[in-house]
Amino acid sequence: MSIPLTGQTGPSDADLIAEINLLRKAKNAVILAHYYQDGKIQDLADFVGDSLDLSRKAASTDADVIVFCGVRFMAEVAKILSPEKTVVLPDMEAGCSLEDSCPADDFAAFRARHPDHISLTYINCSAAVKTHSDIIITSSNARHIIDQIPKDQPILLAPDQHLGGYLAKETGRDMVLWPGSCIVHERFSEKELIKLKTENPGAPIAAHPECPAHILNHADHVGSTSSILKFVLESEAETFIIATEPGIIHQMQKSSPDKKFIGAPGMDGECNCNQCPFMALNTLEKLRDCLRDLSPVIEINEQDRLAAKAPLDRMLEMSPTMASNRPPTSGRAY
């Protein structure tokens, strides 16, 4: 049995970052990070963005390897759009509660019960669910895509009931909704939010549309992660309440160091309950390991890839290139 040496620790962040920088050059890799990743990962990424930004970036990069610091469905999108590249994810367990809420067989049966409905499917779903979808949407482009669908065409929206409910209200369209939700955005407390707002009367509330209606009803701005970021950067206010995963506050603080950002509280004011447990699985150490070993790797059989690509291509064709309005947040700090 080996006895650990007192005070022995793993490699420092600086050592890991140096190793990652050597490896990314050696492997001709591009590192993509979602706004919910740990700040250290955002800072070394070649590109930081929301789901739509990252899909576009995945489609356009000429690297041999894509390291996707996000969750599994995002890395799958990269593989679907770039089959010739090796796509790795630091932790294959990094899933998503929305994806989990919507098994492909149940979704196919749901579609079969609504044969006249077009299926708009939120990108937070498995590749298998994408194969049964007509058009993929993200929170950046959903409104714009719905506006292009004829008014007499019935819509089915899956898997996020809160995003669907918000879009139905905004567009005045009747929609059949799949009853899924995000465990992170569902945990904000309306009671605590009202209390926080009373303590910070001038602070606008910015919320992601994955929040339930009782939270969105208090929001001054509702939008995707990049849209929330743009809102706080352009606003004259000094303090903001942010109702989405707190990882995004890293970019806000970097771009506006004089402003104050307060994460919206969870149930009973507990903190940290709104951190996405799936995003948090990715660490600098796992990022180094997946670059070094090119594993865990995303694999999708060609038939499924092509079937999942069709609704993603439709999404990209129907989305204006300026849709996400990404602020200049690509990360590298070296």
In the list ligand 13P, ligand SF4, none, the entry touching 55 (Cβ below 5 to 8 angstroms by class) is none
Alpha carbon 328 to its chain centroid, in Å, reads 17
Return the residues of window 254-283 that contact ligand SF4 according to CB under 6 A. Answer: 276, 278-279
As a whole number of angstroms, the distance between CA 121 and CA 135 comes to: 6
Shortest distance, CB of residue 126 to ligand SF4, whole angstroms?
A: 12
> Among 76-84, 134-142, 255-263, 325-333, which window interacts with ligand 13P (CB under 6 A)?
134-142
In the list ligand SF4, ligand 13P, none, the entry touching 278 (Cβ below 5 to 8 angstroms by class) is ligand SF4
CB count within 10 Å of CB 332 equals: 12
In the list ligand SF4, ligand 13P, none, the entry touching 50 (Cβ below 5 to 8 angstroms by class) is ligand 13P
The residues with which 33 forms a beta bridge, in sequence order, are: 48, 69
Query: Residue 144: what residue type?
Result: H
Shortest distance, CB of residue 109 to ligand SF4, whole angstroms?
A: 23
Shortest distance, CB of residue 302 to ligand 13P, whole angstroms?
A: 27
Shortest distance, CB of residue 304 to ligand SF4, whole angstroms?
A: 21
As a whole number of angstroms, the distance between CA 62 and CA 50 comes to: 20
Contact call for residue 97 and ligand SF4 (CB under 6 A): yes
Contact call for residue 182 and ligand 13P (CB under 6 A): yes
Selection from 175, 166, 165, 163 nearest residue 138 by Cα: 163
Shortest distance, CB of residue 93 to ligand 13P, whole angstroms?
A: 16
Kindly tell me which of 208 and 288 has the beta carbon lying closer to ligand 13P: 208
Contact call for residue 98 and ligand SF4 (CB under 6 A): yes
Kindly tell me which of 23 and 98 has the beta carbon lying closer to ligand SF4: 98
Give the count of alpha carbons within 13 A of 118, CB side only: 19
Selection from 239, 238, 195, 227 nearest residue 329 by Cα: 227
> Among 100-108, 128-136, 138-146, 297-305, which window interacts with ligand 13P (CB under 6 A)?
138-146
> Among 76-84, 146-154, 178-186, 318-326, which window interacts with ligand SF4 (CB under 6 A)?
178-186
> Among 136-144, 194-202, 255-263, 310-318, which window interacts with ligand 13P (CB under 6 A)?
136-144
Identify the burial level of 256 via C-beta atoms within 10 angstroms of its C-beta, where 0-12 means exposed, 13-18 middle and 19 or more buried.
middle
Contact call for residue 71 and ligand SF4 (CB under 6 A): yes
Helix (H) or strand (E) segment spanning residue 32:
strand 29-34
Return the residues of window 46-75 that contact ligand 13P according to CB under 6 A. Answer: 50-51
Strands (E), 112-212: 118-122, 135-137, 155-158, 175-177, 205-207
As a whole number of angstroms, the distance between CA 89 and CA 70 comes to: 8
Q: What is the DSSP letter of 6?
A: T
Which residues form the interface with ligand SF4 (CB under 6 A)?
A: 71, 96-98, 124, 182-184, 210, 245, 276, 278-279
